[in-house]
A and B are shown apart, each in its own frame.
Chain A
Amino acid sequence: MVDSHSLTMEVIQMEQSIFRNPTHTNAGRSDRTAGDRRRHREKVREAIHGNIADIISDESIIGQRGDKIVRVPLRGVREYRFIRGKPGSGVSQGDGDVGEGQVVGKVKKPGEGGDGDKAGTQPGEDYYETDVTLDELLDIVFEDLELPDMDKKKLRMVETKTAPKRLGYRRSGPETHRDMRRTAIERLRRFGARKRALPKLEEIVMKKTLDILHSQADIENQRRAAYKAREAGDRAQVTEHFRLAHLAVLETRRLRVAAAPLRTRLAKLYEVMPLSEVGPKYREYIRKNPKDGGRFPFENDDLRYKKHVTRPKMESNAVVICIMDTSGSMDTMKKYFARMFFFLLYSFIQRRYSQVEVVFVAHTTESKEVTEQEFFFKGESGGTYISSGYQRALDIIEDRYHPDLWNIYAFHCSDGDNFDNDNKKAVGTANALLDICNLFGYVEIKPKGSRYFEGSMIKTFEKLLGKRRNFHALSIESKDEVWPQLSSILKEDERRHS
């Protein structure tokens, strides 16, 4: 049954192999993966962007510190195919001690705890999500948002950090900032200068050399004159000529010293690198390849570095007043939405406007100013007078933030279940707030399935305040809507200008 043709041993000698070492002849070949890697990174970033609403509606991020790690699913960068699902079977290698019925491993189910559509451990794909810190994530999230309608107010200006910008070049700096193009230009410039300097320098050196020669001739002449005088027996003349000869020696020495640097420079120009200045290996090389002696290497003076400056950008000073309804009707779910809204708003402001002040107001039928900690983590109960929260805000503004000097932003989260007898007052105070605020946002939280007979302020407000340009009424029904709604306010400015 053996195939006979395969048994005929090849008599023909195999062809000679060829060895190539391309890195040797073409040092540092271009990195062919660079383009594809760049595109991949772009897609990762896009994927994070696309999932933002999902990720930040996760309960666990509220009030967390910036270094918390968040796991971000990356659907855009998964490569889908038709593959086998679970449960399946297979063959594997063991260490020899495997017996029938033994459990040798576990595979997590996809979408465990989710709606079956969420990412889980998928077969055939081992790299589909990435870990980022909350800080990084929020940076991406808030990338293109800003506080709308910021006016220039008269007095204090606040600094907002801006990214460093390129501004010119300098002679020293970190190596990573070295600008090779600029450095190469400097070298060429120096080379050109030397070339141009050569004829002129030659002339000067020639002149100086002549002076030295004249001076040397003078020494000789004076000495000769002195010898003649000695023969003639004229003692006074002898002394005089020797004195002059001595002066000429001094003069020559002076001229020599003065000319020395110029001559060295000329020597350098002639023979760009004097052999005495290079190491033995290079000297040997030059000896063998005399033509290469004219190399013109980079010097430290040529190095140029990119200069970066951080110019602080000045913003008008601003205050953001967060007003939250903490009454009994605000159940856990509603409070959670409200807190999520404020957490995102607060993180955004902290991140982008380091100098912006934030004031927290919590209200039931009464209101008080609270700390950040209390605002995000403390619960209360009682009835609802929305107006009390607005009044507190007005008081605080009157007290500390004069509208002529401050940009004022007020946001209020409530379920809109206000006591009827307060509605009129609420609209009145809201009106007063709108008079002095750059923007006033009313966010009504009505989770799906909440009792429909609960009151709603959104209609009342919209009827009476809807025409005011700086009034925004939003409603949030599910946690997915928190982010889109908030970002719609923060993008408002952009839209209006475009």
Chain B
Amino acid sequence: MTDMMNVLIGTENYTMRDLQGWDERIRELADGFGLDCFRQDFEICDHDHMIGFMAYSGMPSHYPHWSYGKAYEKQKTLYDHGVSGLPYEMVINSDPALAYLMKNNTLLLQVLTMAHVYGHNDFFKRNLTFRHSEPQQTIGRFKSAAGRIRGYKELHGELEVESFLDAAHSLSHNRNPYLDRKRLSREDQMARVRDRFYDAHKDQYPNLHAVARVDPEALKESLRKHPLEPDPDILLFIAEENPLLTDWQRDILYIVDQEARYFMPQIRTKIMNEGWASYWHNRILRALDLPPAMWLEFSQRHSGVLRPHPGGLNPYHVGYSLWEAIHVYYDGMIDESRLNPDTFEPQLFISLKKDFEECDLVPPDAGKATGDEKIFAVREEGDDRTFIERFLSRRMVQELGLFRYDEKDEGDHYDLIVTDTGNDDGWKNVRDELARSTGIGAQPVIRVVEAGFKGNVLVLEHEDDGYPLELEYAKETVKHLRTLWMRPVIVNTIIDGEPKQVAQYKVDEEVRVRDQSK
């Protein structure tokens, strides 16, 4: 075994022992900077395995489904045609955290990856969004789910299980994205309805108004509703409330929902998380005292990671720039003896200070906390939405080249028309749109509003956020909903300003779109 440590990895001139040496130095630095990580496991893999891991989101064990084969083929095609390279890093939120290092990468790339991975690791452990993600159980849970689903396939037939999985997958994103919000039991919900009812009728100015009374009929009506409150967890609701499901079908719903739950924090913190990891790989590698050749390669790779994606949005770039801005700004605001001279950039600070003042973003704790203190506090606090709302200023909008666009109907196509850029007051619209549409923000909110009445019809409501549903997709998804509920399904939505229903009553029936009043 000890001999293995000295065997060269891939075609590059380094061994496992070399990697361990670098890792030790990186860990020491990360420790010194104050990063707080789970134990980190690294696994060496080749590029084929890497594509495989990507298809299964990095999970060493995952249940089989054709969609992962599709993801693999797509990745491989892109990679083989040179459209996209492979990611340098792939790390999963588990305790211990697991990351992959690709053979044949240069030594610098491995060092960069390791440093980057420690940034993610710290974020997984300390960010509030991830607090309830139960990382100790991640790998075991995926493994157990894989075993169970394989078993169901043997028992009930591949196709049977596959079509049920297809249906469950199509609704997996329609769940509550906040892991810390507990799913309430019916009793708890009833208590809440009662409270709300009495609160609403509590009159703060009884002297001014005629006395309002709780209408017992209305309360009765409200308590009879099922669900009591609109339920965003569609899969869980079906699993709990559909008595026609067999055990294995119910279990599949829980499995698929669990997996979606695992990904929610990552979706919600993409910009923060990638930015944080990039920010720390930069600081760690700067502190590593790299030999000149490696330094040169690092500068090149680093700017590659942080280059803007015109026509898209590079979360690494946006996140990194914001973290850096926060750090420099806070360091600049405190007295000079406490700031970190290694990372402080006076030029940047001056323009940031002006910018924060002009944009009315000056935080109350400016001048009290150092840059380090502040970024560690912020990394603990929120998700992308709050992060952007709090710290994206006009200067950053301009610097990142961000703009807001509208899709305008032009007959046979839509034009993407720029509505706001970082100039004048437009930056606020850009910031708000980004905060609103980032992560799960782009996901239509659809909740279960009624079930069990009128011939066991499941009624869902699409919250009107000004964006219509993609109708063809909605129709197909309603079919999947019908499969899971096993009885008629109706989705209320707005199409061209008119309230409409997308409904399927019988299996194999066309999905119909009609006026809601009917």
C-alpha gap A405/B368 in the complex (Å): 104
Asked if residues B39 and A14 are in contact (CB atoms below 8 Å), the reply is: yes
Given the contacts A2-B374, A19-B16, A122-B472, A10 and B34 also touching, CB distance less than 8 Å: yes
Asked if residues A32 and B4 are in contact (CB atoms below 8 Å), the reply is: no
Indicate with 1 or 0, residue by residue over B299-319, a CB within 8 angstroms of chain A CB atoms.
000000000111111100110
Asked if residues B65 and A81 are in contact (CB atoms below 8 Å), the reply is: no
C-alpha gap A68/B310 in the complex (Å): 35
At the interface, yes or no: B19 with Cβ under 8 Å from chain A?
A: yes
Give the residues in chain B near A13, CB-CB below 8 Å. Answer: 31
Please tell me which one of the listed residues A17, A85, A98, A122 contacts residue B468 in the complex, with CB atoms under 8 A apart: A85
Asked if residues A86 and B49 are in contact (CB atoms below 8 Å), the reply is: no
Given the contacts A38-B69, A81-B171, A2 and B368 also touching, CB distance less than 8 Å: yes
Give the residues in chain A near B442, CB-CB below 8 Å. Answer: 84, 90
Asked if residues B66 and A36 are in contact (CB atoms below 8 Å), the reply is: yes
Asked if residues B67 and A79 are in contact (CB atoms below 8 Å), the reply is: yes
Asked if residues B471 and A107 are in contact (CB atoms below 8 Å), the reply is: no
Given the contacts A2-B368, A10-B36, A14-B27, A109 and B69 also touching, CB distance less than 8 Å: no
Give the residues in chain A near B471, CB-CB below 8 Å. Answer: 85
Please tell me which one of the listed residues B23, B418, B469, B474 contacts residue A101 in the complex, with CB atoms under 8 A apart: B418
Asked if residues A82 and B444 are in contact (CB atoms below 8 Å), the reply is: yes
Given the contacts A3-B380, A81-B473, A127 and B74 also touching, CB distance less than 8 Å: yes
Task: Tell me the dominant secondary structure on chain A's binding face.
Answer: loop
Given the contacts A2-B373, A6-B377, A87 and B407 also touching, CB distance less than 8 Å: yes
Given the contacts A2-B365, A13-B31, A23 and B433 also touching, CB distance less than 8 Å: no
At the interface, yes or no: A93 with Cβ under 8 Å from chain B?
A: yes
C-alpha gap A92/B401 in the complex (Å): 8
At the interface, yes or no: B414 with Cβ under 8 Å from chain A?
A: yes
Asked if residues B68 and A36 are in contact (CB atoms below 8 Å), the reply is: yes
At the interface, yes or no: B357 with Cβ under 8 Å from chain A?
A: no
Give the residues in chain A near B419, CB-CB below 8 Å. Answer: 89, 100
Asked if residues B311 and A33 are in contact (CB atoms below 8 Å), the reply is: no
Given the contacts A1-B365, A82-B174, A17 and B426 also touching, CB distance less than 8 Å: no
Please tell me which one of the listed residues A21, A38, A78 contacts residue B9 in the complex, with CB atoms under 8 A apart: A21
At the interface, yes or no: B476 with Cβ under 8 Å from chain A?
A: yes
Give the residues in chain A near B437, CB-CB below 8 Å. Answer: 89-91
At the interface, yes or no: A20 with Cβ under 8 Å from chain B?
A: yes
At the interface, yes or no: A297 with Cβ under 8 Å from chain B?
A: no
C-alpha gap A21/B367 in the complex (Å): 48
Asked if residues B309 and A37 are in contact (CB atoms below 8 Å), the reply is: no
Please tell me which one of the listed residues B310, B368, B380 contacts residue A94 in the complex, with CB atoms under 8 A apart: B310
Given the contacts A80-B170, A81-B173, A23 and B45 also touching, CB distance less than 8 Å: yes
Given the contacts A103-B415, A106-B416, A35 and B64 also touching, CB distance less than 8 Å: yes
At the interface, yes or no: B70 with Cβ under 8 Å from chain A?
A: yes
Asked if residues A91 and B430 are in contact (CB atoms below 8 Å), the reply is: yes
At the interface, yes or no: A43 with Cβ under 8 Å from chain B?
A: yes
Residues of A64-90 whose CB lies within 8 A of B: 77-90
Asked if residues B70 and A29 are in contact (CB atoms below 8 Å), the reply is: no
At the interface, yes or no: A15 with Cβ under 8 Å from chain B?
A: yes
At the interface, yes or no: B152 with Cβ under 8 Å from chain A?
A: no
C-alpha gap A102/B403 in the complex (Å): 11
At the interface, yes or no: A155 with Cβ under 8 Å from chain B?
A: no
Asked if residues B42 and A18 are in contact (CB atoms below 8 Å), the reply is: yes
Give the residues in chain A near B74, CB-CB below 8 Å. Answer: 127
Number of interface residues of A (CB under 8 A): 71
Give the residues in chain B near A96, CB-CB below 8 Å. Answer: 398, 401
Smallest beta-carbon distance B115→chain A, Å: 12
Indicate with 1 or 0, residue by residue over B363-375, a CB within 8 angstroms of chain A CB atoms.
1110011000110
C-alpha gap A133/B67 in the complex (Å): 25
Give the residues in chain B near A103, CB-CB below 8 Å. Answer: 415-418
Given the contacts A7-B376, A83-B469, A19 and B23 also touching, CB distance less than 8 Å: yes
At the interface, yes or no: A31 with Cβ under 8 Å from chain B?
A: yes
Please tell me which one of the listed residues B174, B365, B373, B402 contacts residue A93 in the complex, with CB atoms under 8 A apart: B402
Asked if residues B309 and A93 are in contact (CB atoms below 8 Å), the reply is: yes
At the interface, yes or no: B226 with Cβ under 8 Å from chain A?
A: no
At the interface, yes or no: A95 with Cβ under 8 Å from chain B?
A: yes
C-alpha gap A420/B477 in the complex (Å): 55
Residues of B315-367 whose CB lies within 8 A of A: 317-318, 363-365
C-alpha gap A87/B419 in the complex (Å): 14
Indicate with 1 or 0, residue by residue over B388-422, a CB within 8 angstroms of chain A CB atoms.
00000000001011111111111011111111110
Chain A residue nearest to B36 (CB atoms) is A10
Asked if residues B380 and A37 are in contact (CB atoms below 8 Å), the reply is: no
C-alpha gap A88/B96 in the complex (Å): 41
Give the residues in chain A near B31, CB-CB below 8 Å. Answer: 10, 13-14
Chain A residue nearest to B415 (CB atoms) is A103
Asked if residues B406 and A19 are in contact (CB atoms below 8 Å), the reply is: no
Given the contacts A6-B377, A80-B170, A95-B310, A86 and B407 also touching, CB distance less than 8 Å: yes
Given the contacts A29-B49, A81-B171, A98 and B401 also touching, CB distance less than 8 Å: yes
At the interface, yes or no: A165 with Cβ under 8 Å from chain B?
A: no
The 7 closest A-B pairs by CB, nearest first: A36-B69, A40-B69, A87-B407, A80-B476, A1-B365, A85-B470, A37-B69
Write 8 A-B pairs (CB below 8 A) sorted by A numbering: A7-B376, A14-B30, A18-B40, A18-B42, A83-B443, A83-B470, A90-B442, A91-B437
Residues in B lying within 8 Å of A, measured CB to CB: 4, 7, 9, 16, 19-20, 23, 27, 30-31, 34, 36-46, 48-49, 51-52, 55-56, 64-70, 72-74, 96, 103, 126, 162, 166, 169-171, 173-174, 308-314, 317-318, 363-365, 368-369, 373-374, 376-377, 380-381, 398, 400-410, 412-421, 423, 426, 430, 433-434, 437, 442-444, 446, 462, 467-474, 476-477, 480
Known: A7-B376, A33-B72, A103-B418. 13 other contacts (CB 8 A): A6-B126, A6-B376, A20-B44, A24-B7, A29-B49, A35-B69, A39-B66, A81-B173, A91-B434, A91-B437, A105-B416, A106-B415, A107-B413
Residues in A lying within 8 Å of B, measured CB to CB: 1-3, 6-7, 9-10, 13-25, 29, 31-33, 35-43, 77-96, 98-110, 112, 117, 122-123, 127
